[in-house]
Structure 1
């Protein structure tokens, strides 16, 4: 290329810089017609291999990205699923997102995720839902234990919705979940079988997490149904469990501490360490979740394992089936979790 040609090329690139390249720009770059570009990029219609190669090289050079929204408006589908996650820094939501991404890609869909690096509140979640709908997504997966059902219902006339991670009873919404009440009950029964009769339950506020609250209530009811004593330690969230345990443990007479999450159970173990105590030598400690780094056998938490990968995969499959018209029925899909008998729970070794 001569110096004059290089200058003209730089001038041409400067003109297109700052605006998104179009198929007209690609046609000019490749030296072909607009219709040839359209056929080559869409994969529809006949085009020679040489022309397709020229078009694709021109598109890469110009940084062309197809407008999925505009294309979706023509086809009545964008092949995009919106996903609302409460807090991707939490292991549950991170693992759930990974499972959903894989499932969507297997079905030929892409995911657009709205989340937060902290705790996504109700108002923020509603704004995120509105934004996802405005992006013309074909369907929505909502996974936020804090967002009330009545806030989701207004969206069901706009787009198919699946709620992942908790039971829904509102018409028009399919939900995929692990029964938190079942998990809480199983953990309580395990401690009762170990001989514990006075058990502390860290109960998070219902407005913070419907799921954590449900499993806590099940723990309390399971202990009391057996005629034993459940001591309720209320916490605004599971992240405050450590401080609540610190404030309540002295003089409580409990021999076991049931926590709403594995992260809270680790905080409980740290409280014991600072007191010169441990589990299960001084107190039994249980968590809830059972996946990710905190599920390592080295740590050995006694916990309840949620089938998070199956929840994510099933949520996406059911949503896409609804989008593609393969079903129009609402479903409640309850998946079974399992008790993990780790080493942080043992028989009673100290008197109340």
Structure 2
């Protein structure tokens, strides 16, 4: 009778085995301490010794576990990033820019993405997981978690919100100036002569950014003498669209949407209902990140993603610097708040009455 069995390779770095510093040291014929210093670029060695150690590390496929090394030293330069579903172009671009900026500044990001999340429970769990990795700080790039949920974590590590405004003491922000964006869009609609307008957005607990934009739109329109129908809908872009078109049939000449996704949903529904845009109804959005938005001629506002990402990472780097605690005498004075204003894109989906 014959039998067969499978086993892990005895060769360092063989299938199933992770190459360690000890493996590299043994292969190079040096002590573990010497190999460690050489791989970190520390200490002084004969050139041939360091070359031999690095050559063996490359041959064996050794990869240094940066986080483990930092944990052993009682610290970590890794920053946790919690991001809303990156399938949304605005969040996808923000993710890319945060990664690029972190790399440029020598910070490592470990990222958790969150999709649909009722009342932020999954996001709170994600923050606990990130803290379990001993991250040095947190960048939160989602509006779906409240200040009350974030504040307990601010007692443990520096937190920077990227994109959404925050008022809680001790939580720093690099955010879009959504009230200004709503005002800019509404002023444009008023300049086109519209005085009966629908404002369609997600409710405050669905999207705080949309809520801020819509509130500013309404205030600006009312101040300009317009009649406003404000619709607060759910998270799905199609929610509230039927009500918006009903208002159009009752005389509204423009539908202002708090996001480009909602704008597209209104345009699709308008076409299905036999209404032309902008002939029968003008439609606006906000974000300006959707691929092809320029070809579609969307009237929107391009949010300053690049500026927010750069400021968020710069703020985190500054908060992690050794002398950060000496920059101010109180938490309220040292909390960083940076707002960034985007650019109006007039487009062709909104026209004069």
The answer for the alignment partner of 1:186 in structure 2 is 184
- Alignment equivalent of 1:325, drawn from 322, 325, 328: 322
Alpha-carbon distance, 1:258 to partner: 0.7
**Which one of the candidate residues 335, 345, 348 is aligned to 1:343?**
348
1:98 corresponds to: 96
Change (3 A) 1:12 1:216: same
Mapped to 2, the partners of 1:250 and 1:313 lie a distance apart of: 41
For the residue of structure 2 that corresponds to 1:12, the secondary structure is coil
Unmatched 5+ stretches in structure 1: 1-9
What is the TM-score of this pair, normalised by structure 1? Answer: 0.89
1:177 offset after TM fit, Å? Answer: 1.0
Look up the match of 1:6: none
Provide Cα deviations, 1:119-154, integer angstroms capped at 9, x if missing partner.
Answer: 344011101111111111111111111111110000
Contact 1:242 1:264 in 2 (8 A): no
Counterpart-to-counterpart distance in 1, 2:136 and 2:84: 20
Query: Offset at 1:74?
Result: 4.0
| Aligned ranges 1:202-213 → 2 under 5 Å | 202-213=200-211
Determine the C-alpha separation between the residues in 1 that align with 2:240 and 2:28: 64
> Which of 268, 271, 276 is the equivalent residue of 1:278?
276
Partner of 2:254: 256
Tell me the residue number matched to 1:155: 153
1:98 is paired with a residue of what secondary structure?
Answer: helix
Partner residue, 1:216: 214
SS in structure 2 of the partner of residue 147 of structure 1: coil
Give the deviation of 1:15 after TM superposition. 9.1
> Deviation at 1:325?
3.4
Q: Which residue of 2 aligns with 1:3?
A: none
Structure 2 unaligned residues grouped into runs of 5+: 1-7, 326-333
Separation in structure 2 between the aligned mates of residue 244 and residue 218 of structure 1, nearest angstrom: 23
Contact 1:171 1:330 in 2 (8 A): yes
1:24 aligns with 2:22: yes
Q: Give secondary structure in 2 for the equivalent of 1:200.
A: strand
Q: Contact (CA 8 Å) 1:140, 1:159: kept in 2 or not? A: yes
SS at match of 1:167: coil
Pick from 14, 33, 36 the counterpart of residue 34 of structure 2: 36
1:111 matched to which residue of 2? 109
TM-score (norm 2): 0.89
SS in 2 for 1:141: strand
Shift of 1:271: 1.6
- C-alpha distance in structure 2 between counterparts of 1:231 and 1:139, whole Å: 42
Question: Deviation of residue 277 (structure 1)?
Answer: 2.9
Q: Matched residues in 2 for 1:335 and 1:130: separation?
A: 30
Higher mean alpha-carbon deviation, 212-221 vs 10-19, is at 10-19
The count of aligned residue pairs is: 337
After superposition, the CA RMSD in angstroms is 2.1
- Rounded to whole Å, the distance in 1 between the matches of 2:82 and 2:98 is 11
What is the CA–CA distance in structure 2 between the aligned matches of 1:99 and 1:11, rounded to whole Å?
41
Residue deviations 1:287-334 (CA, integer Å, cap 9, x gap): 1011241432x2111111210111011100001101013544211101
CA drift of 1:238 comes to 4.9
| Structure 2 equivalent of residue 199 of structure 1 | 197
Equivalent residue for 1:13, pick from 6, 11, 14:
11
Give the match for residue 305 of structure 1.
Answer: 302
Q: Secondary structure at the match of 1:113?
A: strand
Cα deviation code 1:197-221 (max 9, x no counterpart): 1111112111111111111111122
For the structure 1 residues 20 and 14, does the alpha-carbon distance in structure 2 shift closer, same or farther, using more than 3 Å as the test?
closer
Q: Is the 8 A contact 2:260 2:288 kept in 1?
A: yes
Displacement after TM superposition at 1:226 (Å): 2.3
CA contact (8 A) 2:257 2:284 kept: yes
C-alpha separation between the residues in 2 aligned to 1:303 and 1:286? Answer: 6
1:14-49, CA deviations, whole angstroms, 9 ceiling, x for partnerless residues? 896434222111112233322221122110001334
**Secondary structure of the equivalent of 1:273?**
helix
